[in-house]
Amino acid sequence: MVSRKEIFEREFLGKLFKLALPIAFQSLMLSAVAACDAIMLGNVEQDMMSAVSLATQIQFIQNMIIFSVTGAESILGAQYFGKKDLKSLNDIFLISLRINVLACLLFFVLCEFFPENLMFIFTDKEELIKIGAGYLKIAAWSYLITGVSQCYLTMMKISDNAKETAVISAGTVILNIGLNAVFIFGLFGFEKMNVKGAALATLIARIVELVWCLLSSFKKNFIRPDLKKIFKFNPQLEKDFVKYTLPLLGASLFWGTGFTSYTAFMGHLGKDAAAANSVASVVRDLVCCFCNGLASGGGILVGTQLGAGKLDTGKSYGDRLLVIAFVLGFISTFIMLGLTPLVLDFVKLTPQARELLKGMMIIMAVYMIGRTVNSVLINGIFDCGGDTIFDVYSLAVCMWCIAVPLAAAGTFFFNWPVLLVYACTCLDEVGKIPWVLHHYRKYRWVKDLTR
């Protein structure tokens, strides 16, 4: 057992907060855009808010691919940075860039040329399909460049420049929110564009983000890729990259398509269910920013110790993060409950949608404990030591063999109440905590992955 003194050791907490807080802030800023979209569009029309919430599930799936690639970049990059091997860091950077560019091209083509077909996956309501398709045709251009900027931001995080990622995210988010207001409501003489305005604001913000990342990479002590070697391959390192990317990609697609399925179930349960779920999802993402920061920052912190050959220190850091994860999980539960009346007073929904949202918020309060602990252990600690396959197993069993089938049956066959279906979608995170803890104690993640 880790002692209280070890958990509150000044050096450990200093390193953790230096990484986790900027990453959490970056995640919070990104979630703030979705929150502002929901608030602004919800004040125009409920259907617009619902349609955009459904349409952005496409980007959600794309992000699963992008973040699995940058996840492998982070896993190997943190360990090689701990080893001070800058040549290998450059090769890792180039590998992640090549893969992400191809993924972004695929999603651009789908969203630009087949938006109605994509929207039909999530809803059969014609008005929602039409609104969402209009959003996707503009947003597709932003999807084209997102993967590149994420590769740069990930390299900044693992090379002691996490603060810069927070600055970039804050700047582009403020720009995005400001442009949202201008284009959605037609301020300062601009045409009122509604959902297309939200998409255009996102596109401009993503362009600014990429340019900012490129310029920042030329600062002192920042790592930038040697693009002259973009097509020069490192077979051994690519083999390692694929070894850790494929499980991450499998887990991301399992998790991403599972969450997308949950949104589709809500869409098929009616407009009120879709609207309530869109608001609940925004609140969930905002509260989850803290556990995302702890998972990512903690993983990098442990990974640098493992890559430097300090396995005992890495293991000790992991034990401390486990305790902190549980504490943060219960704090997140109380935050969710405290936000419930504020959210209900703030959004404009039908009476039925408001009641559904209230029930969803209470269910999510319990869900947050599992989400926080599992994120820190699986996506932070396990991944940093190359133990990436466990996430695939846990999602295959808990999400795809339990949560998704129950929610689908309740939606399409048994006509269960909306809140019962919603509760089924939250089963997987809470139910797998004992399994995750058992796997953690095997310490298979305590490994130096560098060569």
8 A C-beta contact, residue 304 and residue 311: no
Question: What is the pLDDT at residue 372?
Answer: 95
Residue 30: the pLDDT is: 65
pLDDT for the residue 399:
92
In this prediction, residue 5 carries a pLDDT of 61
The long-range contacts involving 439-445, CB below 8 angstroms and separated by at least 24 positions, are 439/382, 439/390, 440/318, 440/322, 440/377, 440/381, 440/382, 443/315, 444/385, 444/387, 445/318, 445/381, 445/382, 445/383, 445/384, 445/385, 445/386, 445/387
Tokens describing residue 158? 């693992």
H/E stretch holding 278 = helix 271-307
Q: Determine the Cα angle at 20 with ends 448 and 449, to 5°.
A: 10
pLDDT for the residue numbered 369 = 94
Count how many Cα atoms sit within 13 Å of the Cα of residue 212 in the half-sphere of its side chain: 21
The C-alpha atoms of residue 371 and residue 221 are separated, in whole angstroms, by 35
Q: Which residue do the tokens 């800023």 mark?
A: 29
Question: How many whole angstroms separate alpha carbon 344 and alpha carbon 403?
Answer: 27
pTM, full prediction = 0.77
pLDDT tens-place values along the chain, 451 residues long: 566 666 667 788 888 888 888 878 777 776 666 666 666 766 666 677 777 777 777 877 888 888 888 888 888 888 888 888 888 888 889 999 999 999 999 999 998 898 888 888 777 777 788 888 888 888 889 888 888 999 999 999 888 888 888 889 889 888 988 888 888 788 887 777 777 888 888 889 999 999 999 999 888 888 888 888 778 888 888 888 888 888 888 888 788 788 878 888 888 888 888 888 888 888 888 888 888 889 988 888 898 888 888 899 889 999 999 999 999 999 999 999 999 998 888 777 888 989 999 999 999 999 999 999 999 999 899 988 888 889 999 999 999 999 999 999 999 988 899 999 999 999 889 889 999 999 999 999 998 888 7
For the segment 358-382, what is each residue's pLDDT rounded down to a tens digit? 999 999 999 999 999 999 999 899 9
CB neighbours of residue 68 within 10 Å: 26
- The identity of residue 422, as a single letter, is Y
Residue 223 phi/psi, 5-degree rounding, is -100, 130
